[in-house]
């Protein structure tokens, strides 16, 4: 989350320079109080953007989720596209999907009931870890627990067919049961 605040601070500083105007010597052409006021006014939209739910629930990176976090990663097009659904340690739910977008933040989508998170955690405990089943797979998926600052692969598996994200047609049990639990989250 700290990374997000640093990013919005940089955006606010950039906007302030654009609005106030900076001379070639690097000094503002406006009075000091004007620069401070402009920085505050421009920081609010930068730090409370609609991406991820605004100031109260900013988008987060997977490594910034409150731990222990549970994630479901779906991959398509030989790794070029993907979708992640995550629920963090306090029940906040985040999701993101896209193609070739590197390391995107996960926007906040809602809060899960405690019972739903407990049932999801139990469904993931029933999965057996698999050794490298994704080699040569067009649709590799994985369920992951993120705890103690590291990802622990709960289960990686290959889906035989996939019409789109959240399509469970190629899932077998107990992976389908775990996926259904994720799909009941907000």
> pLDDT class for 150, splitting at 50, 70, 90?
confident
Tell me, yes or no, whether 156 lies in a domain: yes
Tell whether pTM > 0.85: no
Same domain, 137 and 178: yes
Same domain, 14 and 70: no
Tell me, yes or no, whether 52 lies in a domain: no
pLDDT tens digit string along 39-74?
333 333 434 333 445 557 889 998 899 999 999 999
Helix spans in 53-113 (H): none
Contact 128, 121 (CB under 8 A): no
Angle between helix 32-47 and 2-20 (nearest 10): 140
Provide the token pair at 143: 């369920």
Question: Among positive and negative, which fits the CA dihedral 6, 10, 11, 12?
Answer: positive
Based on the number of CB atoms within 10 Å of its own CB, is 65 exposed (0-12), middle (13-18) or buried (19 or more)?
buried
Structural domains in the chain (count): 2
Tell me, yes or no, whether 168 lies in a domain: yes
As beta bridge partners, residue 47 has none
Tell me, yes or no, whether 30 lies in a domain: yes
Domain range for 78 is: 64-183
Same domain, 35 and 69: no
Tell me, yes or no, whether 57 lies in a domain: no
CA atoms of 83 and 99, how far apart (whole Å): 9
Same domain, 150 and 104: yes
Tell me, yes or no, whether 127 lies in a domain: yes
Q: What is the percentage of the chain residues whose pLDDT exceeds 90?
A: 32
């Amino acid at each position: 989350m700290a990374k997000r605040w640093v990013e919005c601070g940089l955006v606010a500083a950039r906007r302030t320079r654009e609005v106030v105007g900076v001379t070639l010597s690097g000094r503002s052409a406006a009075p000091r109080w004007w620069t401070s006021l402009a920085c505050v006014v421009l920081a609010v939209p930068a730090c409370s953007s609609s991406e991820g739910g605004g100031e109260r629930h900013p988008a987060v990176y997977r490594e910034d989720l409150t731990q222990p976090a549970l994630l479901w990663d779906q991959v398509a097009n030989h790794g070029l596209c993907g979708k992640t659904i995550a629920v963090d340690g306090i029940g906040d739910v985040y999701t993101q999907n896209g193609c070739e977008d590197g390391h995107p933040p996960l926007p906040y989508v809602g809060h899960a009931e405690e019972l739903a998170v407990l049932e999801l955690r139990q469904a993931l405990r029933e999965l057996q870890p698999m050794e490298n089943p994704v080699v040569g797979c067009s649709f590799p998926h994985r369920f992951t627990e993120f705890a103690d600052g590291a990802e622990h692969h709960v289960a990686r598996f290959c889906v035989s067919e996939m019409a789109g994200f959240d399509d469970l047609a190629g899932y077998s049990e107990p992976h389908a049961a775990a996926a259904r639990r994720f799909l009941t989250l907000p």
